[in-house]
């Protein structure tokens, strides 16, 4: 028995924020001192490293659970199923519902419960819960759905990844330009077709030296309340960790699938940083003494930024819809999904479309 993604949907907010919109920001170093160069230089360096030119922010009246609901509706419609047949709703996020103008997290009730309510699902045996697994949360949700279905605990599962990172960033931290908002959702169920579906997976948490590479910290502006926290990261350490661990996890996953490296058609990787993703792919292929083929890795980060748990399902939805220029997917194609993020967590799965 294989587990298949029978429906996919995403929600990309309409509010577009370009790099030039950060021209008047007061960026500071960690010690609160100003940069020695103007914002034009900061922005140029930022784009050169991350590839990000635009990103999307949620409308002020929307929260993460709203974006998730929109994506879930699209996934259900795409799957052409009765929503009452869902056995689980798994919602991956990091910060809960954060209302515009605040950075206080609201996770009571759970965001999965809120989505179930918005979907108007009456079935009490549709169990709804949240997972916190950093940016790899949607992939981890897929792996949990796989376990539920194979064990007989479920027949059909909705897995969502959604976040509004724009509401937990420190405006004085240049890393704030990376983050964005969005949602992606998927419907999974068992399939008798042994040739397609989820073939293998890997998942790991590195929590010794790596646990606090991403953390909640005070603003770089010493005049602001130090008890108000924002998403922070040690970018260089994350970069080095990702290059060290993600290619190995992908290789282990692919080797377990029995699929050869030359048969991989696409790699959908968390949209964190263009240079980092390119380096991960290059190192992955080097493990097989290969050079990465052109067009192996679709990217959405240039216009959508880093929406954390939403990047991978959104990328897959765009690929399925034919909305990624020069990229397509056909029946029988093998795809590797992979992610890395707070924890530090790393995961991947191999999937035949």
Residues 166, 259, single domain; the answer is no
**Model pLDDT, residue 195:** 80
Over the Cα atoms of the chain, what is R_g?
Answer: 20
Whether residue 179 is found in the same domain as residue 255: no
pLDDT at position 103:
77
CATH code for the domain of 158: 3.40.47.10
Domain check: are 223 and 151 in the same one?
A: no
Instruction: Please write down the HEC assignment for all residues of 207-239.
Output: CCCCCCCEEEEECCCCCCCCCCEEEEECHHHHH
Residues 217 and 180 in one domain: no
The 8 Å CB, 24+ separation contacts for 281-285 are 283/243, 283/247, 284/246, 284/247, 284/250, 284/251, 285/261
> Which residue range(s) make up the domain with 214?
198-352
Considering the domain architecture, whether residues 138 and 167 belong to the same structural domain is answered as: yes
- What pLDDT is attached to residue 1? 84
| Number of domains observed in the structure of the chain | 2
129 plus 277 within the same structural domain = no
Closest to 92 (Cα-Cα) out of 75, 74, 76, 115: 115
> Could you give the CA distance from residue 337 to residue 268 in angstroms, rounded to a whole number?
5
Same domain, 174 and 214: no
Domain final residue pick, 159, 179, 194: 194
pTM (two decimals)? 0.95
Q: 44 and 182 share a domain? A: yes
Chunk the chain into consecutive blocks of 10 residues (it has 353) and report each block's average pLDDT, rounded to whole numbers.
95 96 92 90 92 96 98 98 98 96 90 98 98 97 97 96 96 94 97 88 96 95 92 94 97 96 97 95 97 95 97 97 93 96 96 96
| 212 and 323 within one domain | yes
- pLDDT at residue 194, as a whole number: 77
Shared domain check, 159 and 18: yes
Pair 212, 185 in one domain: no
Residues 221 and 326 reside in one and the same domain: yes
**Domain final residue, candidates 194, 221, 251:** 194
Boundary (domain end) residue, out of 157, 175, 194: 194
């Amino acid at each position: 028995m294989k587990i298949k993604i029978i429906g996919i949907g995403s929600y990309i907010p309409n509010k577009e924020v370009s790099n030039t919109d950060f021209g008047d920001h007061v960026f500071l170093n960690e010690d609160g001192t100003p940069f020695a160069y103007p914002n034009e230089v900061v922005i140029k360096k930022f784009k050169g490293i991350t590839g990000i030119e635009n990103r999307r922010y949620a409308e002020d009246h929307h929260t993460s659970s709203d974006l998730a609901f929109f994506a879930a509706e699209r996934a259900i419609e795409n799957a052409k199923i009765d929503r009452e047949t869902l056995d689980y709703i798994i919602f991956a996020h990091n910060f809960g519902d954060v209302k515009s103008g605040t950075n206080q997290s609201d996770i009571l009730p759970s965001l999965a419960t809120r989505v179930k309510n918005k979907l108007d699902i009456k079935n009490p045996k549709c169990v709804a819960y949240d997972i916190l697994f950093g940016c790899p949360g949607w992939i981890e949700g897929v792996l949990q759905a796989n376990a539920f279905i194979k064990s007989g605990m479920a027949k059909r599962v909705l897995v969502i990844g959604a976040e509004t990172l724009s509401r937990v960033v420190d405006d004085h931290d240049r890393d704030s330009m990376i983050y964005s908002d969005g949602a992606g959702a998927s419907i999974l169920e068992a399939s008798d077709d042994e040739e397609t579906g989820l073939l293998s997976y890997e998942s790991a948490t590195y929590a010794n030296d790596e646990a606090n590479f991403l953390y909640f910290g005070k603003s770089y502006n010493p005049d602001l309340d130090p008890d108000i926290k924002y998403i922070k990261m040690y970018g260089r350490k994350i970069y080095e960790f990702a290059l060290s661990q993600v290619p190995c996890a992908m290789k282990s996953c692919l080797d377990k699938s029995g699929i050869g490296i030359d048969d991989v058609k696409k790699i959908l990787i968390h949209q964190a940083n263009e240079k980092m993703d390119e380096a991960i792919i290059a190192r992955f292929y080097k493990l097989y003494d290969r050079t990465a083929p052109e067009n192996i890795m679709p990217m959405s980060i240039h216009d959508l930024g880093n929406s954390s748990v939403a990047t991978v399902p959104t990328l897959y939805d765009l690929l399925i819809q034919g909305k990624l220029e020069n990229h397509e997917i056909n029946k029988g194609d093998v795809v590797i999904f992979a992610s890395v993020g707070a924890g530090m967590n790393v995961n991947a799965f191999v999937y035949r479309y």
